[in-house]
A and B are shown apart, each in its own frame.
Chain A
């Protein structure tokens, strides 16, 4: 049976790891390399590595830095931030990324998703959606949530699937860093709109939150950052918790 994935997200800015709240007030949480090594030793299901300032600063991903980090990473690695063209996708895969995530660039040039899927296969194209809630309506934002796009996340997710994306990473901007729980309505509207896997992100604070995103909102994977950076909770314990509630996780006999 396919197992659900528990995915630590590492956000970096310059060379340091950071974590914020609502895509703002970034706190430094250390350097990237030791974190990658720890997660590698702990044998996590997958890792997401996101350069949060590349697009805003108008620069390319730092391919050399990513290659160095990927060297130490034996678990599946998704890399994003600043991916504007097919060449950046190619160079990230070459640097050691297993999957590449595209966000802002897809609004300006949706064909980028199709080009990347045709060249490298849908399975390595992860489309990220940053959703902001205004009243009771969700709107997709680009450029580290600084610009509104007027797209609805469910409609945009469907479009991304049609364009060739292999996975959707749905992030709630309000819940980001709050530890208050995932925005289940947001995640559910996206999982119901597409037939590709959806990774829930933004707001995880407890293992119970992860359970809700997987069982109530239909996510295939749960990503978390602040919960793993700032609390005692770990991916392995998250999986033990989920296994005890009957959710299929990898190596449940070992973590339980």
Chain B
């Protein structure tokens, strides 16, 4: 299998590539959307700000090809950190900006409770639902986070994991062939590498993406508070 790492001028691509290679993947970094036809899996990394990243994805000609290949052709995509947030409809970092719109939802700033500090930096637990990408990862395993914003999916069905900080925020989302983790699997030691290995054998799920005929619900209000894994 061959994993395309989307290079849009942001983020720490080397460590993602190294981690994927450690998991046995043939991983290549590309700044050319035409290469999407040569891969079995896509990795959307990201360290950076939402607006800048979307602008760079647009300039690089990635937006439409990514939507098509993930939503219509069901090629599995893993978005990491900002890469997960970019899957949303809208991001609120640095103004209101449209995202890729692959998983309906909104990206908003974390709201600290009591004396919690923002950004949320360090190791925290993930309470995850049954999903192939979490096979072999015990519930409440610690993984590495470094972020100030979080994804609120419009559809609670898309929530794959939550993490106890700022109340509970959504730390993994999944819909069809698209999956996103707010944490960094490539920096999360053995649990992170296990998630990457699971991704490499994952074929995505066919139904329910934004481009399907069925009308998907748009963002209404945060479902997070009511959800407990």
Contacts and interface: CB of A to CB of B under 8 A. Distances in A.
Contact of A120 (B48, B122, B142): B48
Contact of A167 (B82, B94, B121): B121
A122 B12 contact: no
Among A73, A118, A221, A250, residue most surrounded by chain B Cβ atoms (within 10 Å): A250
Interface string A105-125: 000000000000111111110
13 contacts: A2-B123, A5-B123, A74-B187, A74-B193, A76-B146, A96-B12, A98-B47, A121-B93, A123-B147, A195-B117, A196-B118, A220-B117, A221-B122
B14 A70 contact: yes
Contact of B13 (A74, A94, A220): A94
Contact of B125 (A1, A119, A120): A1
B47 A76 contact: no
Nearest to A45: B123
Given A75-B187, A75-B189, A98-B187, A197 B48 contact: no
Nearest to A119: B52
B96 interface: no
Given A2-B165, A220-B117, A251-B142, A122 B148 contact: yes
B12 A97 contact: yes
A14 interface: no
B221 interface: no
B31 to A, nearest CB: 13
A76 B122 CA distance: 9
B146 A99 contact: yes
Contacts of B118: 195-196
Nearest to A40: B189
Contacts of B112: 195
A119 B11 CA distance: 10
Contact of A123 (B22, B146, B193): B146
Given A5-B123, A121-B82, A76 B144 contact: yes
B124 interface: yes
Q: How large is the interface on A (under 10, 10 to 19, 20 to 34, 35 or more residues)?
A: 35 or more
Contacts of B15: 70, 73-74, 96, 98
A45 B122 contact: yes
B164 A1 contact: yes
A118 B93 CA distance: 9
Interface string A242-256: 000000001100000
A76 B117 contact: no
Interface of A: 1-5, 43, 45-46, 67, 70-71, 73-76, 93-99, 117-124, 166-167, 195-197, 220-221, 250-251
Shortest 4 CB-CB contacts between residues of A and residues of B: A250-B123, A123-B119, A3-B123, A96-B14
A220 B112 CA distance: 15
Nearest to B164: A1
Interface of B: 10-15, 18-19, 22, 47-49, 52, 82, 93-94, 112, 116-125, 142, 144, 146-148, 164-165, 184, 186-187, 189-190, 193
Contacts of B93: 121
B142 A250 contact: yes
Nearest to B189: A43
Contacts of B123: 2-3, 5, 45, 250
A167 B142 contact: no
A29 to B, nearest CB: 25
B121 to A, nearest CB: 5
Nearest to A98: B12
Given A2-B123, A121-B148, 11 more contacts: A3-B123, A46-B122, A74-B15, A75-B189, A76-B144, A98-B187, A120-B49, A123-B146, A124-B146, A166-B146, A220-B122
B11 A74 contact: no
A196 B146 contact: no
B184 A94 contact: no
Contact of B11 (A5, A93, A196, A251): A93
Contacts of A67: 14
A74 B187 CA distance: 6
Nearest to A99: B146
A123 to B, nearest CB: 4
Given A2-B165, A166-B148, A250-B142, A74 B189 contact: yes
B120 A93 contact: no
A1 to B, nearest CB: 6
